[in-house]
Structure 1
Amino acid sequence: MQGLPASAVPRMHAAARAIRDGAPTQAEQLLVAVLAGTPNHPEALRLLGILRNRQQRFAEAAKLLEQARAQRPDDSATLSDLASALYGLERKQEAFAHWREACRLRPEFALAWFNLGRNLQQEGITEEAIEALREATRLAPDMLPAHVLLGDALVHLGHFDDADASYRAALKLHPANGDAWRGLSNMKTRPLGESDALQLNAALKHPAARPPDRIAMRHALGKLHEDRERYAEAFDAIAQANRESQSLATWNRHAFHRLVEGVVAQDAHIAQSQDAERGREVIFIVGMPRAGSTLVEQILAAHPHVEGASELPDLGAVLAAENTRRKKPFPQWLGEADADDWARLGRDYLARTARWRTERPRHTDKMPENWLYTGLLRAMLPGAVVIDARRDPLETGWSCFKQQFYRLPHFSNDLTDLAAYLRDYEYAMDRWRAHEPERIVLQRYEDLLDAPEAQICTLLDACGLPFDNACLDFHNAHRSVRTASAAQVRQPLRRDTARAERYGAALDPLRAGLARPDATD
């Protein structure tokens, strides 16, 4: 606060509280008033930069924070906040350099270690993320998010005992923390115990439990009941969690159906590529969540030529940037793009994902929702293979319904919506695969269970990969698995994973939706 008049100090404190409490208008008014009286004050600039970061106005944030840094070049807090702005601007290398410098300049600054660890984890640099997050929890044992994210990172590397301890450390700080309960229940091969059931029921009544906490805890309670074969209680808990999610944001299945129809209708107008090899480095694994895509990736990532990159946002980000450039929403501009446009977009994707090919020549991209872009990939990345990972529709639907997804609105919160989405996906993928059976490969989960060695050999051949015995022992592959199946794919194949039939008539809305000829009914 040095250099501020006494009257500005309460405004600065009030502005910081307003940012913390999600009151951006109040925070901005207070900071503008401070800067009007004391122009270019570094701490007021930093707080305004934090506010702009929260608002995702990253270019403005970076400018403000650079101004603050010019006056305080060795201030770790300013460096860390500037790194956040640069990360938002996709200047990731600079961002990580600033976070690491913030930790070096002030090694006791827990928040800098947390920010470094959180974003390393976001980028799949899991081992270094664990080191940074452990340092954050050591320096600030009461930093709740650090314990949760440390648990997530440990799960991704298969360190389940340590992850369990980290999530439970978070619950000691806040017994109704939904993220910690979500982490515990997502270790699907480790059932929750009787004491967990008592704690969950008590935590659901906790006065500090927010709606997202209650949703996560009800999903965890549903898994606990299912593990104990209490199927009616499991369904009730999961259905209530989904109703609460739907009350926050409702999925529009009719609008999504129109989107799919619009994408498919553009197929005939997409310019053809003359470069059949572009994208040969990439293996896309697409389909419904919970349909075995992580298993397929684990098998391929065990191969010495393939890096398992997990769920990458890059394809969607490239297309979103093109929406902005053309000032038209996807898919309206698809027919306008010529072969040069598609080549440019393909190169953009390959540049964004190049770090996944530094040690191995090829990488997987396992973002399930990329199925919607399968048709346009023949122009953008015609050399890429697309694996359509499928599982029995009823089992897939039930597995989605009982899994918590954080992006809202989400199709999985309602059984009828879920069935409509699944039918839209199958309709589009069946059409595209009929046109390009060599590039788009169907891999059924049940076939892998029935004949794993033969299916793995066929899968490798479809991807243009030589056979390697390591792919048969996929569960031993050492890698970061950043999905809800992180525990399951570290075990040999199991035949006892089907659960849907045990729920009987409760799943009739899903059965009825899957049987309808029109996905939008």
Structure 2
Amino acid sequence: MSPAASDPRLAGLPPAALPRMQAAMQAIRQGDADSVLRLAGEVLAMAPEHPEALRLIGIAHNASGRHAQARDALQRSHDRRPGDALVLIDLGNAQQRCGDPQTARASWHKAGELAPGHPMPWYNLGRALQLEGRTGEAIAMLSRAVELAPDFMPARILLGDALVHAGRFEEADAHYREALWRNPACGDAWRGLANMKVRPLSDEDREQLALNHSRADIGEPDRVAMGYALGKASEDHGRHEEAFAALQSANARLQREAPWDAAGFSARVDAIIAATAQLPAPIDPALGGEVVFIVGMPRSGSTLFEQILAAHPQVEGASELPDLGNVLDEESARRGRPFPEWIAEADAGDWQRLGRDYLQRTARWRERRPRFTDKMPENWLLAGVLRAMLPAATVLETRRDPLETAWSCYKQHFYRLPHFSCDFDDIAAFMRDSQRAMAARRERDPAHVPLQSYEALLRDPETAIRELLDTCGLAFDPACLAFHAAPRSVRTASATQVRQPLQADTGRAGGYGALLDPLRAALARVGLS
């Protein structure tokens, strides 16, 4: 039997095209996008608009970051073969990456109808829903994917993460441990267990983690993830030298993979501060009063402050939203100039248009309650334009003891690379950049940029919470004192901590003694000791 006869996906190909198609399929498995495009292009020259060749071209474009070209090729494939679930799965991936999540979800739903036993439509739906903060729906989709493919680790790990975000820690623990039963060196499973900070790993867990971390046959992503987890587990057991060594190794590996350009980043901060010094008066000074932005350093208590506000009956906690950055990125693309170069050309009407765009994109967070929080920490970099774009928005800056903040960043595995958190000097420089950018914004608009102290909240919770609510123009509500009981999805590394009552002592840096002297020195060099 010929390959075309045995594989219906190759039906319609002339015999001369079959070797090229089979080579293209092998190149897809090897991740060789350039060979896929060349070989599938040759197939199309012999069999114009063949749906499988178009699908392979779409996958290759997607893998290379050419998402619009991927979407176009996959749409042509779908037009020729509308009942093909695989094409719809890949088309949904391209649509999602082109910034069209609703159309992507429709494609995946249709793929699920056509192939209900295939795990990928349900996994993709679950992943997209989780990113949108629809955690309950995500859990349902991911559970279905795991049921269909028990060995598909990405679905099982993401299900564990979603369960953590929903506060269902026992179920999350079971899925992470099931993943480890299937693969004891699954770095993401160890990461998930370690990140449930109110459920420390046992000493037996730590020993197993250390054993697998030292294996020679594991990939770099697993080794890095296990390094951060081992640092956390060792710290919990008072083994500070071992914790420091594991974290130092993990951070060094990430830094080698993608070095952070501290000087270049500081120059970008300078440019943004200068460009936002003079902005036009807003047309509508009341625009944006629905929004409370929570910005500042990661690991500075921002999730805790959001959880307190989200316990208020007037506020929806939306967690970390990409919308502000997306609005400005799209405006940069429209103008053909990067942010902040075009700021001086924008008039009051432009800023109002952009503010309304942001509010439209985030409208679903105001369906149940009139106000919402946007807790993307790095929005401090964009806060300067908010006084023209969303002039009535409140911008809370959270701060915590510099040493504790810096050490907590160093211990946290951030997946977006390059990242400032892998080096003590980079952390200190980034923290200083954050504070000086917010100081410039505060000087220009002091009424809407209050500073929130993590330590002050721990010392006197009720007073600090009353002041926080008053700052945001909210009446006091006793539910905010019991913030840990608020039933919401928390999609950050602090998901477990904010479901617990406040603890008076959350510091961890002191246990390391002189090991952290280089970090103390780095902070001192930028005036943050």
Task: Find the counterpart in structure 2 of residue 284 from structure 1.
Answer: 293
Structure 1's unaligned 5+ residue stretches are none
Distance verdict in 2 for CA 1:239–1:40, change over 3 Å: same
Find the aligned partners of 2:429 and 2:287 in 1 and give their Cα distance: 34
Cα deviation for residue 361 of structure 1 reads: 1.3
Find the aligned partners of 1:344 and 1:55 in 2 and give their Cα distance: 33
Residues 98-497 of structure 1: pairs in structure 2 closer than 5 A: 98-497=107-506
SS state at 2:117 partner:
coil
Counterpart AA for 2:51: P
The answer to whether the 8 A contact 2:34-2:60 is kept is: no
Find the aligned partners of 1:36 and 1:366 in 2 and give their Cα distance: 51
Find the aligned partners of 1:161 and 1:215 in 2 and give their Cα distance: 25
Counterpart AA for 1:400: C
Find the aligned partners of 1:453 and 1:71 in 2 and give their Cα distance: 63
- Once the two structures are superposed, what CA deviation does each residue of 1:355-394 show, in whole Å capped at 9, x if it has no partner? 1111111111100000111121100110110010110011
SS state at 1:484 partner:
coil
The answer to whether the 8 A contact 1:177-1:209 is kept is: no
The answer to whether the 8 A contact 1:271-1:335 is kept is: no
After TM superposition, the structure 1 stretch with the greater mean CA deviation from structure 2, 438-447 or 186-195, is: 186-195
Q: RMSD of the TM alignment (CA)?
A: 1.6
Distance verdict in 2 for CA 1:10–1:384, change over 3 Å: same
Task: Find the counterpart in structure 1 of residue 7 from structure 2.
Answer: none
The answer to whether the 8 A contact 1:438-1:462 is kept is: no
Find the aligned partners of 2:62 and 2:388 in 1 and give their Cα distance: 36
The answer to whether the 8 A contact 2:428-2:526 is kept is: no
Cα deviation for residue 132 of structure 1 reads: 0.9
Counterpart AA for 1:310: S
The answer to whether the 8 A contact 1:114-1:146 is kept is: yes
The answer to whether the 8 A contact 1:86-1:95 is kept is: yes
Find the aligned partners of 2:504 and 2:29 in 1 and give their Cα distance: 48
Counterpart AA for 1:387: L
Distance verdict in 2 for CA 1:518–1:259, change over 3 Å: farther
Cα deviation for residue 13 of structure 1 reads: 3.7
Task: Find the counterpart in structure 1 of residue 94 from structure 2.
Answer: 85
SS state at 1:141 partner:
coil
Matching residue within 519, 525, 529 for 1:516: 525
Question: Which segments of structure 1 move beyond 4 Å, counting only runs of 4 or more?
Answer: none
Find the aligned partners of 1:43 and 1:119 in 2 and give their Cα distance: 26
Matching residue within 27, 38, 44 for 2:53: 44
Cα deviation for residue 42 of structure 1 reads: 1.1
Counterpart AA for 1:209: I
Q: What is the aligned length?
A: 519
Distance verdict in 2 for CA 1:358–1:56, change over 3 Å: farther
Task: Find the counterpart in structure 1 of residue 508 from structure 2.
Answer: 499
Find the aligned partners of 2:99 and 2:265 in 1 and give their Cα distance: 29
- Once the two structures are superposed, what CA deviation does each residue of 1:241-269 show, in whole Å capped at 9, x if it has no partner? 11111101111211111111111122332
Find the aligned partners of 2:140 and 2:153 in 1 and give their Cα distance: 17
Find the aligned partners of 1:144 and 1:116 in 2 and give their Cα distance: 16
SS state at 1:147 partner:
helix
Counterpart AA for 1:40: E
Find the aligned partners of 1:322 and 1:488 in 2 and give their Cα distance: 37
Distance verdict in 2 for CA 1:10–1:489, change over 3 Å: farther
After TM superposition, the structure 1 stretch with the greater mean CA deviation from structure 2, 295-304 or 321-330, is: 321-330
- Once the two structures are superposed, what CA deviation does each residue of 1:14-37 show, in whole Å capped at 9, x if it has no partner? 323323332111111121122111
Distance verdict in 2 for CA 1:136–1:261, change over 3 Å: same
Find the aligned partners of 2:325 and 2:143 in 1 and give their Cα distance: 32
Find the aligned partners of 2:306 and 2:136 in 1 and give their Cα distance: 20
Find the aligned partners of 1:345 and 1:442 in 2 and give their Cα distance: 26
SS state at 1:389 partner:
strand
Counterpart AA for 2:110: E
- Once the two structures are superposed, what CA deviation does each residue of 1:222-280 show, in whole Å capped at 9, x if it has no partner? 00110001111111111111111110111121111111111112233222213111111
Distance verdict in 2 for CA 1:150–1:7, change over 3 Å: farther
After TM superposition, the structure 1 stretch with the greater mean CA deviation from structure 2, 483-492 or 401-410, is: 401-410
Find the aligned partners of 1:88 and 1:360 in 2 and give their Cα distance: 30
SS state at 1:283 partner:
strand
Distance verdict in 2 for CA 1:351–1:518, change over 3 Å: same
After TM superposition, the structure 1 stretch with the greater mean CA deviation from structure 2, 348-357 or 469-478, is: 348-357
Identity across matched positions, percent:
56
After TM superposition, the structure 1 stretch with the greater mean CA deviation from structure 2, 456-465 or 198-207, is: 198-207
The answer to whether the 8 A contact 2:89-2:121 is kept is: yes
Counterpart AA for 2:523: L
The answer to whether the 8 A contact 1:176-1:208 is kept is: no
Report the TM-score when normalising by structure 2: 0.95
The answer to whether the 8 A contact 2:292-2:393 is kept is: yes
Counterpart AA for 1:392: D
The answer to whether the 8 A contact 1:285-1:387 is kept is: yes
The answer to whether the 8 A contact 1:15-1:27 is kept is: yes
Find the aligned partners of 1:254 and 1:518 in 2 and give their Cα distance: 17
Report the TM-score when normalising by structure 1: 0.96
Distance verdict in 2 for CA 1:269–1:395, change over 3 Å: same
The answer to whether the 8 A contact 2:58-2:71 is kept is: yes
